[in-house]
A and B are shown apart, each in its own frame.
Chain A
Amino acid sequence: MTILPVILWSDVLIWLLVVAALVLAALSARNPPLRTAWHRVGRSAPGMAAATVLLAFVLVGLLDSVHYRPRLASRDSGAPAAYAIEVLSLLDALASPLRTRNEKTYSEPLATHGYAKESIETRDADGRLQIARDFPRLKYGGAHLDADARDLAAQRDADVGRRVLAATSLAALLSGLLVLGCASLLASRNACSLMTAWRALRRGETDFAWRSVLVTLGVLLLLLSPLAALSVDYHVFGTDKVGQDIFYQVLKSIRTALVIGLVTTLVTLPLAIVLGLVAGYFRGWVDDLIQYLYTTLSSIPGVLLIAAAVLMMQVVIDNHPQWFATAAERADLRLLALCFILGLTSWTGLCRLLRGETLKLRELEYIQAAQAFGVADLRLIVRHILPNLMHLVIIALVMDFSSLVLAEAVLSYVGIGVDPSMISFGTMINNARMELAREPMVWWSLAAAFVFMFALVLAANLLADAVRDAFDPRMAGAS
């Protein structure tokens, strides 16, 4: 074996979430109201565009959730296999040029030379040592260009232009093929001619918002393919203080954001659903107790409770170094603990909502009929009440995601977020914000973090809106 698979706890939970999403999809397909609601989501053009973007993010996140440790090369073949201490993921393997080609320090996007002047030693023709202050040539950025050429900048521009042109034309071709494939798929499904299908697609008259999906995919391809083509030989978004490629950091941040946004719901949902339903259904002292619990928890300001809990978690982690085999495992467990803490502090809102709805539902005739027939409490809650609350749960789930992603950045800034060694949008912003004072300014890592985080959160917000409009019974008549 050339690799040693490593299964981090967050990987387990992420793949568990994928399974859960599939199960939810299967359940929704069998439940007519949920199915129609999802169909309504599918008709929403902004919602589907957002879903496409999110899917791209999730794909990167999933690639980054298969971890392993590479085998170290050993000279004699008889020796027992030794594995690197470094934990890598599939994404790292795919983007290994990005990961390994580190410069010395900052460099601008697409730069061929360093950011600050250095003393460079050169030898004259007669062998004398010359020391000049100049911008050093980057080790990897644009290394394939002819280094001695005078017009390096012009050469670089021509090369970049060529690559962008090639990549975008390839992307355009690919998008065209996608549209054609989609049209022919529609044509064969609706048993109409290709022309009719294409017209319906172009006018956005399809049942599912294919047009916005295809347009989004096309735009994504057009934007990402030049990035991919350039990142092979340049640092597209520049490098940071220790010379690491910013594009690579952005890609790695995606997984952290997704884990925070999604795994937290694994903690929130069970707590909110079980306690909310139990309180609303049984009433009496159970209700009083649960109400007391969530009023108390929600009366502590969120950030402070999180701060207190994270501080305490740090003490536990620092006092038990023996629990973690690698630094990655420690960072991973800290990330999960953060999710756990965020979940524990944010279930109260949904719980209160579910309790109120259960109180209303349990007075309805169909519930009382079921009670009269002697249906057991547990069965009644699971079969008759819970399905009628699922829309609230789904709405809360998608609405929370974007706020959690935003919260991660703030918490990491305050110093109670993810492990400093873990790449996340928060740590990127935190490292970059000091550099704004430099002259000339180091703006690229902030800008990259901003663009990608904005895209992720905006997509999540738009999808949340579409889902809320589709699932909220008050909105159902409107559209």
Chain B
Amino acid sequence: MLAYLLRRLLYAIPILIGVNLITFALFFVVNTPDDMARMQLGVKRVTPEAIEKWKAERGYDKPLFINSQAQGTGVFTDTVLFAKSARMFVGDFGRAEDGRDIAREIASRMGPSLAIALPTFIIGLFVTVSLALLLAFFRASALDFWGVVLCVALMSISGLFYIIGGQYLVSKLWRLVPISGYAAGLDAWKFVILPVAIGVVSGIGSSARWYRTIFLEEIAKDYVRTARAKGLSELTVLFRHVLRNAMIPILTGVVVVIPLLFMGSLLSESFFGIPGLGSYTIDAINAQDFAVVRAMVFIGSVLYIVGLVLTDISYTLVDPRVRFE
């Protein structure tokens, strides 16, 4: 097990390097730093000196790959590639356009992001799995049919409408909770409750339908027939046998997103004005802050790879047949 994990982690390194190279190519080869400087400075203030100054302030004035003027290892380390990419592996993301340290900003914004994303994830998983079980229990009945129809209708609505509609109904019409904002500590609950509820509802359609398919596939298997032949009640069959076995395909899709919860949600955070990583990313995109976007891409892929490893571990927990050699 430990050896397997170690190997998985080692395998993650070339992937991270690949991610880094892709983002590097995207940001520095498709456009030269000069282009970025021109974009950032705007049309009016573009002079060769201003561009040079902008590049020097951000460390973009070095050669991209090989610095032939430097000494020793500086040939490789004193380049944009090394300064902007390799440093990310040790958690140094540089500074944003407004001069703040990106790493510190990220650390302080993770809390609000998690306050929304974690409850959404847990409640959402609970609600959708229960709904799917309900539909599977009443399979091939009118309830099942209309439930699936409702699911398809729900998943055909853009996430934007859920948020806009929810904000309008709950906050503006009924005035139950504030429209947007955030408070630290326990006071946060009234800001958190609406985004969480909307996040749960907007996810119901596709997930409940997907889980229902998994349950139905499991129900068609022979061991279920055996369990029923033993005289077990349908509920016991469903909870003791089907649910447990269906956990394996469900886990594949679910565990992998757990680490990504840290990243927060782009849409709901920006609509509800929550100072998390999602709104940080959106602000960076709108302000064309390349350093922040690059840092977020890197962190996102690290978390995704962590998620993959976690998925493997969770298999051993729910399925005793799985052994890693």
- Which residues of A pack against B, CB within 8 Å? 292-293, 295-297, 299-301, 303-305, 307-309, 311-312, 314-316, 318-319, 402, 406, 409-410, 413-416, 425, 429, 433, 436-437, 446, 450, 453-454, 457-458, 461-462, 465
Residues from chain A with Cβ under 8 Å of B156 in the complex:
402, 454, 457-458, 461
Q: Is B183 an interface residue (CB 8 A)?
A: no
Contact A319 B39 (CB under 8 A): yes
Contact A304 B300 (CB under 8 A): yes
Contact pattern, B 139-164, Cβ under 8 Å of A = 1, otherwise 0: 00000000000001101111111001
Residues from chain B with Cβ under 8 Å of A409 in the complex:
158, 160
Prevailing SS type, chain A contact patch: helix
How far, in Å, is B159 (CB) from chain A's closest CB?
6
Residues from chain A with Cβ under 8 Å of B167 in the complex:
436
Can you list 25 A-B pairs with a CB-CB distance of less than 8 A?
A: A292-B15, A295-B15, A296-B19, A299-B301, A305-B297, A307-B293, A308-B23, A308-B27, A308-B297, A311-B285, A311-B293, A312-B26, A312-B27, A312-B31, A315-B35, A319-B31, A410-B267, A414-B270, A414-B282, A425-B158, A429-B158, A429-B164, A436-B167, A446-B161, A458-B153
Q: In this complex, what residue of A is CB-closest to B151?
A: A461
Residues from chain B with Cβ under 8 Å of A305 in the complex:
297
**Alpha-carbon distance between A184 and B219 when the two chains are bound, in angstroms:** 46
Residues from chain A with Cβ under 8 Å of B55 in the complex:
none
**Alpha-carbon distance between A295 and B16 when the two chains are bound, in angstroms:** 10
Contact A304 B281 (CB under 8 A): yes
Residues from chain B with Cβ under 8 Å of A300 in the complex:
19, 22-23, 297, 300-301, 304
| Among A315, A415, A446, A450: residue with most chain B CB under 10 A | A315
**Alpha-carbon distance between A300 and B290 when the two chains are bound, in angstroms:** 16
Which listed residue (B19, B158, B285) contacts A416, Cβ 8 A? B285
How far, in Å, is A29 (CB) from chain B's closest CB?
30
How far, in Å, is A268 (CB) from chain B's closest CB?
18
Residues from chain A with Cβ under 8 Å of B26 in the complex:
308-309, 312
A-facing residues in B269-313 (Cβ within 8 Å) = 270, 281-282, 285-286, 288, 290, 293-294, 296-297, 300-301, 304-305, 308
The tally of residues in B whose CB lies under 8 Å from a CB in A reads 47
Q: Is B36 an interface residue (CB 8 A)?
A: yes
How far, in Å, is A399 (CB) from chain B's closest CB?
11
How far, in Å, is B263 (CB) from chain A's closest CB?
7
Which listed residue (A309, A415, A453) contacts B158, Cβ 8 A? A453
* Given contact pairs A299-B301, A312-B30, A415-B286, A454 touches B157 in the complex (Cβ within 8 A): yes
Contact B293 A304 (CB under 8 A): yes
**Alpha-carbon distance between A406 and B301 when the two chains are bound, in angstroms:** 24
Contact pattern, B 38-64, Cβ under 8 Å of A = 1, otherwise 0: 110000000000000000000000000
Q: Is B260 an interface residue (CB 8 A)?
A: yes
How far, in Å, is B62 (CB) from chain A's closest CB?
20
Residues from chain A with Cβ under 8 Å of B308 in the complex:
299
Q: Is B172 an interface residue (CB 8 A)?
A: yes
Residues from chain B with Cβ under 8 Å of A410 in the complex:
158-160, 266-267
Q: In this complex, what residue of B is CB-closest to A302?
A: B300
**Alpha-carbon distance between A3 and B178 when the two chains are bound, in angstroms:** 55
Contact A299 B19 (CB under 8 A): yes
Q: Is B18 an interface residue (CB 8 A)?
A: yes
Contact B158 A307 (CB under 8 A): no
How far, in Å, is A351 (CB) from chain B's closest CB?
16
Q: In this complex, what residue of B is CB-closest to A432?
A: B164
